[in-house]
Structure 1
Amino acid sequence: MSSALFPNPAHEQLTRLWQAHRPAGPMLPWELKTVYKDRWVRFHSLPESKRYAEDEAEYAVLLDRYNTVLDELFAGRDAYVVTIDWADPSEPTDYSAHRAALHPEGTLWTTLDDTDDPDPSFHTRWYFYADRRPWQRGCLDPLLRAVADEELPGVFVTDPDLTRIHHPYDGGADVILPSSEERDRLRDRHSAWLSAHASGY
């Protein structure tokens, strides 16, 4: 993979952190659980590890779980919200209207070319859009609901120091903490939301 970082003044701090990060970033959010396994925990968004909400009561449960953890990570702080679009590297992005409607504050931060596959038809260019905002509970609910319905994969929220990362997905969220000790405390507070599988998946 190769990446290109753009000189967007609004994202300079995030860019510097990614450039200094090891392993080098940016990376796709579903890779976080592997790269940071010693600081990673996964929470399921519905009881009994149910993947998709079927009514408003279940949407209320999953949004409460998302927001409870996000509050514990970012309350009283600024956070970067990052959404991702993609296209064939030989073509311009279509700037997904759905992504833009759900994240209108997001401006282009960086691109990432995934050209590892020997077959060029499987090459992809990923476009990362970011905005920085004071965290407020509920501020991402439309975005989180779209993620829960698998309408918008590739979303993550991070603190400005890139030490706390929340990657929601359909069925739950991967969370990266600054240390394994802090990860353990968060995990223990929400043990009822963990996978029953020994691996944590």
Structure 2
Amino acid sequence: MGEGNPVLLITGDYIEKGTTSYILEETEVLKPYNFTWLDDIDFHKIDPANYQPNQVYKPALAETVWQSGRHNTLLQAIANDEMRAFFISIERTSMVAPYDGGMDFILKDIQTRDSYKLKYKAWLSKRQDGF
């Protein structure tokens, strides 16, 4: 992300349509961030076979700065599968999506991808397919 660079933190909450208070607002690990709540995504309209009427996803974003150690509490909660969130760097044209078994990087081009593969070779899966 680049030390001191601005990043967007993206997360969200599954709620019933019309809910005005969100579980994420009560989540201790997210209290240091100032979230802006975005419009609901109505999953029932997208996939009615798997989602109930009025079941929506409420995305939220917060502007923050990437600093070494600053987001460790949040990253630990994600690693423990207690929450889901990802970071976007507009400046670096990249996205980092940590999860309970690792981390995915979406990078701006093949050259950047290849340089990260070399830099973090020891962290990559030993499987032939890379997963």
Same-fold call, TM cutoff 0.5: yes
Residue 103 (str. 1) matches residue 33 (str. 2): no
CA shift, 1:117, in A, is 2.2
CA distance, structure 2, for counterparts of residue 199 and residue 81 of structure 1:
30
1:147 alignment counterpart: 78
The residue correspondences of 1:22-61 to structure 2 (distance < 5 A) are none
Which of 1 and 2 has higher RCO (CA within 8 Å, sep 6+)? 1
Is the Cα contact below 8 Å between 2:8 and 2:62 reproduced in 1? yes
Against the structure 1 CA distance between its residues 168 and 123, is the aligned structure 2 distance closer, same or farther, given a 3 Å change threshold? farther
Q: TM-score, normalised by structure 2?
A: 0.81
Query: What SS does the aligned partner of 2:59 have?
Result: strand
Residue aligned with 1:121, SS: coil
Is 1:78 the counterpart of 2:9 in the alignment? no
Q: One-letter code of the match for 2:43?
A: D
Query: Higher strand fraction: Structure 1 or Structure 2?
Result: 2
- Normalised to the residue count of structure 1, the TM-score between the two structures is 0.55
Aligned residues: 127
Identical-pair percentage? 27
Structure 1 pair 126/93, CA: closer, same or farther in 2 (3 Å)? farther
Matched with 2:98 is 168
* Preserved contact between residue 164 and residue 178 of structure 1 (Cα < 8 Å): yes
1:44-83, Cα deviation, whole Å (9 max, x unpaired): xxxxxxxxxxxxxxxxxxxxxxxxxxxxx22231111122
Q: Is the 8 A contact 1:87 1:93 kept in 2?
A: no
Where does structure 1 lack aligned partners over 5 or more consecutive residues? 1-72
CA RMSD of aligned residues (A): 2.4
Unaligned runs of 5+ in 2: none
> Runs of 4 or more off by more than 3 Å in structure 1?
97-100
What is the deviation of 1:188?
Answer: 0.9
